Amino acid sequence: MEYRQRLAGKRPKSAILWNVYLEKCVDDATMTSDEFRAVCNKALQSVNADEAYPIWKHAIDYSILHAPSETEQVFKDALKYANAMVASRIKILFVDYLNELFNEGKLSAENLRKRIVKLVDGKPNSAEFYCSLYKKEMARPEPDHKFAGLVIRTAVSEQDAASVEAVILYGMWALAHDPAQFHVVYQAGLKLFKGAELDEFMTSWTHMVQGVASDAIDEEDRCQKCDPTENKGDDRKENTGPDKAPEAEAECLCGGGHTRKSTKTKKRERNTEKTDSDVPKKKMKSPKKRRMSKQSKLSSPEKVVSEV
């Protein structure tokens, strides 16, 4: 009652007071959806349009808790009546809501993608929306790298939506999936920003490049330190039994998904690689030398029989 009186009296345009009051209303199970909708409408008419995001968020939260069938209509109203800045933030909530429906099996992957693309096509969008959508896509177990690249490239190409974070994310994507565009993204960042934003971009880009280089060096070091995973005591035994599996490649201990051949496998391969030409052959004597050697044996003193 105190909040209602203050809002109706001295400070009806205070977005902070409306936010606190609506937060209490969301948890009030006695308030009907029509009553709550009326309070939200009054709040939206009272506060500045740029400060309307918390009010729309409370309306969405209330519908999810108390009137799930009305939730999508609340999202549609928010995207229709809110200004571009607030609508972009509402879109982030809408993507989260659609992902929840997908996880619960209430929305197919195809329909999920269509509805997200529709949100992307509904210009204008903020850099915050593009970056959030890109991060959510890349965090999926099997991300669609092509779609993620399209989203973040759109953010950079739209001058009003470009931000330092968006250009850095696009640079990271290009480095992994389209290296030829990496330098192009850097040049785009130099043209987009000025003053303090340019300094922020240069610093962030340098840190990004150094981080990628450091990760590559660490990965190489882990692979070089890896040892075969077989038991060293088994080297003295031949693995020839019918129930013994051939020693294939052992998994690399760095955890990077690499494989390497075991010590026994390497030794066996080196032995099988030897050809007849590698084995030293016994030197053969020529026929002439063999005859001379035979004659010398016959004429030796030990073989001559004295005549009677």
| All residues at 6 or more sequence positions from 287 whose CB lies less than 8 Å from its CB, including other chains | none
Confidence (pLDDT) at 216: 73
Cα–Cα distance measured from residue 53 to residue 102, given in angstroms and rounded to the nearest whole number: 25
Confidence (pLDDT) at 56: 96
Residue 262: both structure tokens together: 């075991």
Q: How confident is the model at residue 175 (pLDDT cuts 50, 70, 90)?
A: very high
**Cis omega before residue 68 (within 30°)?**
no
Residue 52: both structure tokens together: 């309307």
Q: By C-alpha distance, which of 118, 117, 126, 33 is closest to 87?
A: 126
Confidence (pLDDT) at 87: 95
Please report the beta strands in 93-236, taking only residues with DSSP state E, as ranges in sequence order.
none
Residue 16: both structure tokens together: 């902070």
Q: Which residue has the tokens 């309070």?
A: 39
- 3-class SS of residue 148: helix
Q: By C-alpha distance, which of 72, 176, 232 is closest to 152?
A: 176
Instruction: Please provide the average confidence, as pLDDT, over all residues in the chain.
Output: 78
Cα–Cα distance measured from residue 210 to residue 205, given in angstroms and rounded to the nearest whole number: 9
Domain boundaries, the chain: 7-124, 126-218
> Domain 7-124 - what CATH class?
mainly alpha
Cα–Cα distance measured from residue 28 to residue 23, given in angstroms and rounded to the nearest whole number: 9
Q: Contact at 8 Å (CB) between 130 and 166?
A: yes
* Cα-based distances in Å from 114 to 71, 120, 204, 241: 19, 10, 33, 57
Q: How confident is the model at residue 290 (pLDDT cuts 50, 70, 90)?
A: low
Share of the chain above pLDDT 70, in %: 68
Q: Mean pLDDT highest for which of 121-125, 128-132, 212-216?
A: 128-132
- 3-class SS of residue 107: coil
Model confidence pLDDT, tens digit, residues 76-121: 999 999 999 999 999 999 999 999 999 999 999 999 999 999 999 9
Confidence (pLDDT) at 4: 57
Q: Contact at 8 Å (CB) between 98 and 86?
A: no
Residue 277: both structure tokens together: 């030409």
Could you write out the three-class secondary structure of 21-84?
HHHHHHCCCCCCHHHHHHHHHHHHHHCCHHHCHHHHHHHHHHHHHHCHHHHHHHHHHHHHHCCH
Mean pLDDT, to the nearest integer, of 24-37?
86
How many C-alpha atoms does 33 have within 13 Å on its Cβ side?
14
- Sign for the pseudo-dihedral over CA of 208, 210, 213, 218: negative
- 3-class SS of residue 101: helix
Q: What is the DSSP string of 198-213?
A: HHHHHHHHHHHHHHHH
Q: Considering the entire predicted model, what is its pTM?
A: 0.68
